[in-house]
Amino acid sequence: MRQSCVALLAMAPVVLASTTTTWEMNNYQDFLRGRFANVALGRDGRLMLAPNLEPVFASGQPAIWSVAAAPDGNLYLGTGHRGRLYKVDPAGKSSLVWTAEQPEIFALAVDARGTVYAGTSPDGRIYRIENGSVKEFFNPGVHYIWALKFGPDGALYAGTGDHGRVFRITMDGKGQVWYESGQSHISSLAFDSEGRLLAGSDPNGILYRITGKNKAFVLYDANLPEIRSILPNADGTLYVAALGGSTAKRAGTTYGVTTGAQGSVVSAPGTSITVTDSQAGGDIATSKADQTKTQLQPAATVVQPVQVIDVTGVEKSAIYKIHPDNTVETLWSSKDENIYDIAVIDDRLMFATDLQGRIYRLGRERKATLVAQTGEAETTRLLPSPAGLLASTGDMGSIYRLGKGTASHGTFEAPVHDANTVARWGRLSWRAETPQATGAAFRTRSGNSARPDNTWSDWSEPLTDPAGSLIRSPNARYIQWRLELTSTNVATPSVDSVIAAYLPQNTPPTVRSITVSTQTNAAAQKTTAAAATPAANSAFSITVTDSGDAPQTSAGTPTQTLARNAGQQTQIVWQADDSDGDHLAYSIYFRGEDEHDWKLLRSNVFENSLNIDSDVLADGRYYFRVVATDRPSNPVEYARESELVSSPVLIDNTPPVVHFAAPVQSGTMADLTVTATDQTSPLRRGEYSLDAGPWIPVEAADGVTDSPSESFGFRLEKLRPGEHLLVFRAYDAAGNAGLSKLVLK
């Protein structure tokens, strides 16, 4: 396969690196990031055909919050955010039963006679729907009805929120507070095998066992905020699903509730949401006014949005098993998905999450198998039925049925893979449980945008050779593959490892900067190849980058000037990198300002600095060029290189020549004139010392010491009789000092 890929490179219009790179998916976590349609994922990382997932009903509403089955086989569904109650008969025929005045129906219950009870929010009330007639059954004076459950005593129990109460309501519509939890919400209810009431709370994730009015025992205090679902078993064990705040999300849908002084007001900073009653339109109307207020009910409530903070990287949800002796074990947990409901089918625990509406089956070894994916935002409820497991969803407000048979066809779309640069694709190979079995085919597509859109190529023709099929998609940066599984008479196909090979485009290296400085020999020996700045004892230094934004003055880019004192070296330091991670080699060149050809200083340098003796370059202006190549990591024909040239560097080894003119003396006073000339750089300072005394600065005769040749004049007064030694010193721009002496008598 390697030889085939290399042969193909000869025809490629791009320059490619020599090293083949592979994109491999071969375990549960790898595949879990893809999209599933009638394909299941085993905990061992095997893709296989899933049970049939059939759409049963689409409400056209944003979410189905509650599901309840009637004794006659009818299914009742409560929706949000328009508060509609639907009935779906066993044949799949649906009808709208009732539209509530409130936007959400979070809870439903059906009694033995088929009478439906619905809890509405955010003005929490319970309604009885019987033979097409709707009546208010009970008003608990709360904001949320989260759960409804009939008890063995025939009473209806309601889990409510904003004060975390459980109400017991008799069939004549009379109710009382059965238990006050002290929590904000009672989010779930169930009865155990002994007929005792179980209640889950939010925001402290406490599971209560309530044995009488105001009598409760804490079965478990979870480390997650909400007990979302409780599933009792006949043997006394409990399965409990906990998550990080679904109640807050649902409350955010219907607006969190606080108490005000004037009436029910729907408001929010910047945007207000006004709830109107169904006879005036039945929808939730929104406006941009900051302070819109609408009177809804005489009760004193102010409704405000609840902010939900989603923190990644921490545990989001878990399933616990609580044994009859009250010991607890964690069966499953996730940092990525919120669990919404649990159910038991064929002695297997099933659970639903909010990641693309997934449904999992938990094995006996606590290994979760991804059974189905609805493709919607969340699967909110699970309900066993004779025809299979029913699942309600949010986003499109639908009902799906997970059949007992296996789908005949399914697809899996891998996540998009980024090759980081344009790549030429090689072969796609995969491993199947039964290599000789047919029924698995792959298609690929590619593009240069991070998400597939209409600029991507079409899906390719099927690839069917597990040992390696050549990918026909165009060269591009991104690629994606899709697996198609089809059941055959021979065997049910499965795939557990997929490898796509490709050759990335070889990106040239980049030389970022060049720094030239002077170093003493000792300092130069200590400088490492990774040095990025001149040494501290540099006389002068300048850095040039490839940004094109060199420092500017009114006179243009300044010329760097370097002194070449005895015992010094010139150090050239550069910074370079390669986005492919290739190893780099460097060649360093120089040329004088009046020269045309570059002269090689060193080649095959693998460090990022070079030191040269101070004497190898005579006085003058020089340019330095660094050429970087990724040849060490690529064959010659595919190697790339880039270069950067420094700004001009002025090298000046020679000090100025200083000359005294004949002094003009009169008594104790002497007038001196000195000329100083430098052949390479301008002068910068002049100074004199009398009789080895301190240096006294002198400015040039024209007022500014800035030319290669300057005249200096100064007067000495109050000279004592006798001989005097006068020394004049002139510095050029490179720091070279020229001296001359004069004996005054």
> What is residue 315's predicted lDDT score, i.e. its pLDDT?
84
Distance CA 743, CA 409 (A): 109
Q: For residues 321 and 220, what is the distance between their CA atoms, to the nearest angstrom?
A: 10
User: Is the pLDDT score of 520 beyond 90?
Assistant: no
| 408-448 residue pLDDT tens | 899 999 999 999 889 999 999 999 876 555 689 999 999 99
Closest alpha carbon to 580 in 627, 512, 500, 639: 639
Residue bearing tokens 């009046």: 594
Average pLDDT estimate for 144-166: 96
The token duo for 331 is 């069966």
Q: What is the pLDDT of residues 571-604, one digit of tens each?
A: 999 999 998 888 999 999 999 988 999 999 999 9
Pairing of strands 620-629, 510-520: unpaired
Element (H, E) at 251: helix 246-254
- Average pLDDT on 69-86 reads 94
Of 224 and 551, the structure prediction assigns the larger pLDDT to 224
Encoded amino acid at 710, one letter? E
Give the pLDDT of residue 667: 87
Q: Are 171 and 163 in contact (CB under 8 A)?
A: no
Structure tokens at 461: 């023709």
Q: Please determine, for residue 156, whether its predicted confidence score (pLDDT) is greater than 80.
A: yes
621/623 Cα distance (integer angstroms): 7
CB 189 within 8 A of CB 202: no
How big, in percent rounded to 5, are the helix, strand and coil portions of the chain?
Answer: 5, 55, 40
Place 224 in a pLDDT band, splitting at 50, 70 and 90.
Answer: very high
Which of helix, strand or coil describes residue 261? coil
Would you place residue 617 in the very low, low, confident or very high pLDDT band (cuts 50, 70, 90)? confident
The pLDDT confidence band at residue 656, using thresholds 50, 70 and 90, is very high
* Cα–Cα distance, 27 to 99 (Å, whole number): 47
Q: Is 173 within 8 Å of 137 (Cβ atoms)?
A: yes
Spatial separation of the C-alpha atoms in residues 405 and 416, rounded to whole Å: 31
* 650 band by pLDDT with thresholds 50, 70 and 90: confident
Q: Residue 236 pLDDT more than 80?
A: yes
Average pLDDT over residues 377-400: 92
pLDDT for residue 546: 55
pLDDT digits (tens, 9 = 90+) for 319-370: 999 999 999 999 999 998 999 999 998 889 999 999 889 999 998 778 899 9
Name the pTM for this structure: 0.65
C-alpha span between 547 and 156 (Å, rounded) = 74
555-565: average pLDDT: 61
Exposure class string for 252-276: b at 16+ Cβ within 10 A, else e: ebbbbbeebeeebbbbeeeebbbbb
Return the SS3 of 278: helix
Label residue 677 left, alpha or beta by phi (over 0 means left) and psi (-120 to 50 means alpha).
beta
Burial of 389 (0-12, 13-18, 19+ CB in 10 A): buried
pLDDT band, residue 18 (cuts 50/70/90):
low
Mean pLDDT computed over every residue of the chain:
84
Residues 188 and 185: their CA atoms lie apart, in Å, by 9
pLDDT score of 294 more than 80: no
Tens digits of per-residue pLDDT, 256-285? 433 333 333 333 333 333 333 333 333 333
**Mean pLDDT in residue range 287-311:** 35
End-to-end, the C-alpha distance of the chain in Å comes to 96
pLDDT of 562 reads: 63
Pairwise CA distance, residues 199 & 211, whole Å = 11
| pLDDT at residue 180 in the model | 97
Confidence of residue 296 (pLDDT cuts 50, 70, 90): very low
Q: What is the mean pLDDT of residues 634-653?
A: 89
| pLDDT in the model for residue 154 | 95
State how far the Cα of 439 lies from the Cα of 464, in Å rounded to an integer: 9
Q: Is-contact 711 651, C-beta < 8 A?
A: no
- For the CA atoms of 288, 294, 299, 301, the dihedral, rounded to the nearest 10 degrees, stands at 10
Return the closest-CA partner of residue 145 out of 66, 57, 219, 233.
Answer: 66
